[in-house]
Amino acid sequence: MEDHDNLKATELTLGLPGTDAIEKPTPAAPNVNKRSKEEECCGFTGSSGRPAAKAQVVGWPPVRSYRMNSFRERKTEKKEEDSTGIYVKVSMDGAPYLRKVDLGVYNSYEDLTEALDAMFKGFSLGKRITQRQAHDLHRVAEGGDESEHAITYEDKDGDWMLVGDVPWEMFVSSCKRLRIMKGCEARGLTSSP
Amino acid sequence: MVGGFRWAAMFPDEVWEHVFSFLPADADRNAAALVCRAWYRIEQRSRWRVFVGNCYAVEPAAAVRRFPEVRAAAIKGKPHFADFNLVPSDWGGGAEAWVEAMAEGWPHLEELRLKRMVVSDDCLELIARCFKNFKVLSLVSCEGFSTAGLAAIAANCRNLRELNLHENEVEDNCLHWMSHFPESFTSLVTLNIACLEGEVNVYVLERLIGRCPNLKTLRLNHSVPIQRLVGLLHRAPQLVDLGTGKFAAQHHPELFSTLESAIAGCKNLKSLSGFWEAGPTYLPAIYSVMDLIEDDGLIAVAASCKLLQELRVFPSDPYGAAQPISLTEHGLVAISAGCPMLHSVLYFCRQMTNSALLTVAKNCPNFTCFRLCIMEPHTPDYITRQPLDAGFSAIVESCKHLRRLSLSGLLTDLVFKSIGASANCLEMLSVAFAGDGDAGLHYILSGCKNLRKLEIRDCPFGDQPLLDNAAKLETMRSLWMSSCSVTLGACRQLARKMPLLNVEVINERKRGLPLELQPDNCPVEKLYIYRTVAGPRSDTPSCVWILR
């Protein structure tokens, strides 16, 4: 068949008329981005004839492989934290569905409770929470409102803890999910283990 | 000595034994053993501690026969460059032969320290079964065993004082190995499990620590969260050395403040390591820097840590861009100026000047160990563009007690001339990407009268200096050369000339003819030469040839 162009013009495709068949992008060579980053960021001015492409020499620099792994892991951890956020589920007793919040977005307990308030509008969350002072420990237990809720969280060990006892950063690093409990159930809670 | 036997009999053997116990070094005891037969016999029976720097230097059975009353043994296996993957994984360094011989001949062995050896679970089980009074097990940079082997140690070593696992590769197949320490076990003084990858049962650990009142050193692994550390510290307020593990859990500096009271309760704490560090007021004489630090951080350390003796600064991004980390020669100079007790440095950086090294040399004449790694090979002084010969020469000329030195950067044969002439106490030298030709190696081998270990990679050193200094090699423990310019012919000559050396040629690529049939001018990839009275070893893998 000689008349390829004509045939191509009448060829049925799923693309919009006028667009050519889209070429599959060739996967970038694994080190390309890394190399250009090095060229941009390289602090060395006028280093003698160093080739732009840095071939990795076996066993150099002389750092043991387990140390390398910990650097790599720490970098990915940090990257994950920066880009994907710390999302935890939030359930509220009585609410038909759960929500998710990104703990990384907030800087304090006050910010968090404000956000939860807004999220579960119509359910009274009672007092705003700040980090508890020692004498606050039993306030919920001793006789809060019937309608008051307590915010609790599941920590890394699987224990359910009252929100507000520990410094904010420690809470963020150990919180796995949140549960907003009804006031009457919450009254049994203290924060001591 | 005339009448040697008579005067030795003037005192009972126990008196001579007591006298010998004051001899500080094995070399001195060796000398005493040569005086007369009586002293040989007495010294032999009273030597309790042996150090075997190269496991292939002597047959295990011979070592056991020579000193039948040993209580503490330390043995090293693979060459140092194995740490950087330059030695084939099947090269050797297996511990079985030694453990079997020791089980047979030293049933009263109490302490065993192995470094860079392949230790199987069978070895650990043998140790656990055969040494009734076993007290100290220290495995450093070893591999080949699992937590199942550790369970055997825990279960059977009733008097264990020290379990030190440092930078080993351990397979995790027995989650509850620590539960094998019986309830009656209370003797632990040191527990270092930092290198274990698996989860640790913190409840079991708490109970173990709670019943060991003499625990001084505790180094945890990454699986123990900071929150549980408080409970552990409450049970061990007598701790002197604490390690929180090798990985950062999260980057939360506020965690320090919540642990402050728990740590303050440990009144004797002198050493901290792990992923986070306390403020300078807690810092001990030995300081392990594991987190990110830059020049400013080091300047702060220099200003406050006046007792600092040893500093190690590793690269945070070994393969990455040169920026943004601002760790340069300034940090090193600041430390050298501010820390008068500093004697050991390991420092990675990307730039250096001769002037900085001269300043460091002037500030720290007491260095015993100086290891500088400029990350990019052949890097000159970044200001003058000169080689760093002058800087390193200043180090060896000023630091008269320098025992260990690692070089880096752009270096000519001149630096080796200085080292050969001045480094009279130097015992270990590491060289990479340096020198111009044979003269460099010749300077080292013809000087450095106390040199024990020499390891060289990627240097233009060839056959002649090896052949000219063959006798020197018998005074050293070992020589490693890889990616240099040595030929097979020179190795054959060396092996023929020096029967007390094992000349190991390592050729992993295996092209064409087997090594026996290769011509003399065939280049040698990797060469490992060590003195030995045991002859060629019998456990060589296929990539290793021992030339005769």
ipTM of the predicted structure?
0.81
d(Cα A54, Cα A35) in Å, to the nearest integer? 8
What three-state secondary structure class fits B522? Answer: coil
Which chain B residues in 439-478 lie under 8 Å from chain A, judged by CB atoms? 457-458
Q: Which residue has the tokens 């030339």?
A: B547
Chain A contact for B249 (CB, 8 A cutoff): yes
Q: Which parts of chain B register pLDDT below 70?
A: 1-5, 245-260, 274-292, 317-325, 510-512
Chain B contact for A53 (CB, 8 A cutoff): no
B199 Cα to chain A: minimum distance (Å): 13
Chain B contact for A39 (CB, 8 A cutoff): no
> Which pLDDT value is given to residue A77?
54
Point out the residue among A56, A67, A170 whose CB comes nearest to the CB of B255: A170
Task: Report the residue of chain A nearest B85, measured CA to CA.
Answer: A59
d(Cα A154, Cα A177) in Å, to the nearest integer? 5
Task: Tell me if B258 and A167 make a contact (CB, 8 A cut-off).
Answer: yes
What three-state secondary structure class fits B466? Answer: helix
Task: Give the dihedral sign, CA B454/B455/B458/B462.
Answer: positive
Q: Does residue A80 register a pLDDT over 70?
A: no
Q: Which residue has the tokens 């220290």?
A: B138
Point out the residue among A42, A66, A173 whose CB comes nearest to the CB of B252: A173
> Which pLDDT value is given to residue A149?
78
For testing contact with chain A, the best of B165, B252, B431 (most A CBs within 10 A): B252
Chain B contact for A52 (CB, 8 A cutoff): no
What CATH number matches the domain at A83-129+147-187, 3.10.580.10, 3.40.50.2020, 3.30.420.10, 3.10.20.90? 3.10.20.90
Pair A150, A123: CB distance under 8 Å:
no
Chain B contact for A169 (CB, 8 A cutoff): yes
Mean pLDDT of A137-151: 53
> Which pLDDT value is given to residue A51?
41
pLDDT tens per residue, range A63-74? 887 766 655 555
Dihedral angle over CA of B340, B342, B346, B348, nearest 10? -20
Chain B contact for A105 (CB, 8 A cutoff): no
HSE (side-chain half, CA atoms, 13 Å) at B22:
4
> Which pLDDT value is given to residue B53?
97
Mean pLDDT of A123-149: 50
HSE (side-chain half, CA atoms, 13 Å) at A32:
5
For testing contact with chain A, the best of B227, B312, B328, B430 (most A CBs within 10 A): B227
> Which pLDDT value is given to residue B510?
66
Helical ranges in B364-517 per DSSP H: 389-398, 413-422, 438-446, 463-468, 470-473, 488-497
| B-chain residues near A132 (CB < 8 A) | none
B180 Cα to chain A: minimum distance (Å): 23
| A12 — pLDDT class (breaks 50, 70, 90) | low
Kindly state the tokens that stand for A125. Answer: 């969350």
d(Cα A88, Cα A78) in Å, to the nearest integer? 18
Concatenate the DSSP letters of all residues of chain A into one string.
Answer: ---HHHHHHT---SSPTTPPPPPPPPPPPTTHHHHHHHHHH---SS-TT--SS-PPPTT-S---HHHHHHHHHHHHHHHHHHHH--EEEEEETT-SS-EEEEGGG-SSHHHHHHHHHHHTTTS---SPP-PPPGGGTTHHHHH--TT--EEEEE-TTS-EEETTSS-HHHHHHH--EEEEE-HHHHTT--S--
| A39 — pLDDT class (breaks 50, 70, 90) | very low
d(Cα A72, Cα A66) in Å, to the nearest integer? 10
| A-chain residues near B244 (CB < 8 A) | none
A-B Cβ pairs (cutoff 8 Å, strict): 105
Kindly state the tokens that stand for A156. Answer: 């890394």
Measured between its terminal Cα atoms, the distance across chain B in Å is 39
Backbone angles phi, psi at A175, to 5 degrees: -80, 125
B400 Cα to chain A: minimum distance (Å): 26
Chain B contact for A154 (CB, 8 A cutoff): no
Beta bridge partners of B74: B51, B113
Residues 6+ apart with CB under 8 A from B166: B138, B139, B140, B141, B192, B194, B195
Pair A157, A186: CB distance under 8 Å:
no
| A-chain residues near B195 (CB < 8 A) | 66
Task: Report the residue of chain B nearest A77, measured CA to CA.
Answer: B250
> Which pLDDT value is given to residue B47?
95
Backbone angles phi, psi at B252, to 5 degrees: -130, 90
DSSP annotation of B290: -
* B243: region left, alpha or beta (phi > 0 left; psi from -120 to 50 alpha): beta
For testing contact with chain A, the best of B165, B319, B431 (most A CBs within 10 A): B319
> Which pLDDT value is given to residue A106?
86
Task: Tell me if A44 and B324 make a contact (CB, 8 A cut-off).
Answer: no
d(Cα B344, Cα B371) in Å, to the nearest integer? 8
* B535: region left, alpha or beta (phi > 0 left; psi from -120 to 50 alpha): left
Chain A contact for B230 (CB, 8 A cutoff): no
Chain A contact for B67 (CB, 8 A cutoff): no
Task: Tell me if B319 and A62 make a contact (CB, 8 A cut-off).
Answer: no
> Which pLDDT value is given to residue A37?
36
Point out the residue among A64, A73, A167 whose CB comes nearest to the CB of B83: A64
Q: Does residue A19 register a pLDDT over 90?
A: no
DSSP annotation of B545: E
Task: Tell me if B321 and A41 make a contact (CB, 8 A cut-off).
Answer: yes
For testing contact with chain B, the best of A56, A173, A192 (most B CBs within 10 A): A173
| A137 — pLDDT class (breaks 50, 70, 90) | very low
CA angle B291, B295, B297 (to 5 degrees): 50
pLDDT tens per residue, range B11-61? 899 999 999 999 989 999 999 999 999 999 999 999 999 999 999 999 999
Task: Tell me if B246 and A42 make a contact (CB, 8 A cut-off).
Answer: no
| A-chain residues near B432 (CB < 8 A) | 60, 62
Chain A contact for B509 (CB, 8 A cutoff): no
Point out the residue among B85, B322, B406 whose CB comes nearest to the CB of A42: B322
Amino acid in the structure at residue B93: G
pLDDT tens per residue, range B314-361? 877 666 544 446 789 999 999 999 998 999 999 999 999 999 999 999
d(Cα B275, Cα B212) in Å, to the nearest integer? 25
Task: Tell me if A42 and B252 make a contact (CB, 8 A cut-off).
Answer: no
Better-scored residue on pLDDT, A150 or B413? B413
